[in-house]
Amino acid sequence: MEAVGIQKSQKQDTFEGVDFLDLDDLLTEEHKLIRSSIRDFVKREISPYIEDWAQKAHFPEEIVKKFGDVGAFGPQIPEEYGGGGLDYIAYGLIMQEIERGDSGMRSTASVQGSLVMYPIYKFGSEEQRQKYLPKLASGEMLGCFGLTEPDHGSNPSGMVTNFKDMGDHYLLNGAKMWISNSPKADIAVVWAKNEEGRIHGLIVERGMEGFSTPETHNKWSLRASCTGELVFDNVKVPKENLLPGKSGLGAPLMCLDSARFGIAWGAIGAAMDCYESARKYAMERIQFDKPIASFQLIQKKLAEMLTEITKAQLLAWKVGKMMNEGKAMTVHISMAKRNNVEMALTIAREARQIHGGMGITGEYPIMRHMMNLESVITYEGTHDIHLLILGNEITGIPAFK
């Protein structure tokens, strides 16, 4: 079902992948089958519409159910709760393929899987898992994750959102900002301090009195994704909606590790799309009586793009293997997220130059990816904070406290 006024692109998405070092050798047959099915899904359900969605700042609500049908929500969650029961490399490949379509579309999926389903699965009660996870996995419900506040971004421990024990319920007050999915979300996993100042997770449901989700407008980035706030004005939250499994800042940070891992893969998808577009354009664009691909500086750009994508693929795969073995630490994920997003942004900028003036139009995906990646390089740990996480690991001295 197409939204009213949305134009379907006549351009064919012919992407076949970028694999210079035959890294498919590192993947199982199941991995390749999953990647192929998501790639086909993106070509069918995202590529023909994404430029118009982005131009019109339209979030296609129908994509939520489609993501559920194709298994993009919580693929790493066990099957008994509606997830895919897949490993982390499969999860990464799914994020890579979706972000090749669009970073905003990947944000929708990774928030649902890593920031909503994961904490309910990991820290929730059995009742909470049974109540929410199957509906989130199928796309019947959309969720969001409330950590960042207007005055507390890189310093989440300073949050002021809080809840008080009122005997038979909790009373929640505060606000969260820059929340993907919030305007359309059915539930929010919200992190707030109790009266002792300890951080806990609470499941807040759409329709609870005093809970509102104002939408953020006028974005230049992630225009096909919906972003908003979460506002809590004396919201009565049932006690059974507290996540009992873990408290403290470590709980939301564990969720962010899972999401950042998905970003490390997703950014490769955006980079691949820019590289492929630039390669094809350079072969077809004639200047000085020959294709611009014949010029040394264009070949330099393309060679560097391919090299950086290949390095990022190896980094993502290795961290994925460590995730599967339970050996990946926050610092490993920080390195992968930071490196791969910067790589993708650099490739988007170089690809824009290869396209010349055409690179700023919606005829090509470059400018959309570039604007999206300006958000991706900041959200879920800014570029500089990830650098300092690594610096702390190297020196033992935290530079951001």
User: Known catalytic residues?
Assistant: 380
Q: Which residues pair with 200 in a beta bridge?
A: 192
Beta-carbon-side half-sphere exposure of residue 112 (alpha carbons within 13 Å) = 37
- How does DSSP assign 10-26, residue by residue? -S--------TT-GGGG
Phi, psi of 163, rounded to the nearest 5 degrees: -135, 150
Phi, psi of 305, rounded to the nearest 5 degrees: -60, -50
Q: Considering just the CA atoms, what is the radius of gyration of the chain in Å?
A: 21
CA atoms of 278 and 128, how far apart (whole Å): 47
CA atoms of 335 and 393, how far apart (whole Å): 11
CA atoms of 59 and 315, how far apart (whole Å): 32
* CA distances, 182 to each of 145, 295, 376 (Å): 8, 47, 17
Token pair recorded at residue 339: 């490196």
- How does DSSP assign 303-321, residue by residue? HHHHHHHHHHHHHHHHHHH
Instruction: List own/partner pairs for 320-328 with CB under 8 A and 24 or more apart.
Output: 320/87, 320/88, 320/89, 320/92, 320/261, 320/265, 321/89, 323/88, 323/261, 324/87, 324/88, 324/89, 328/257, 328/261
Contacts of residue 318, defined as CB under 8 A and 6 or more positions apart, other chains included, come to none
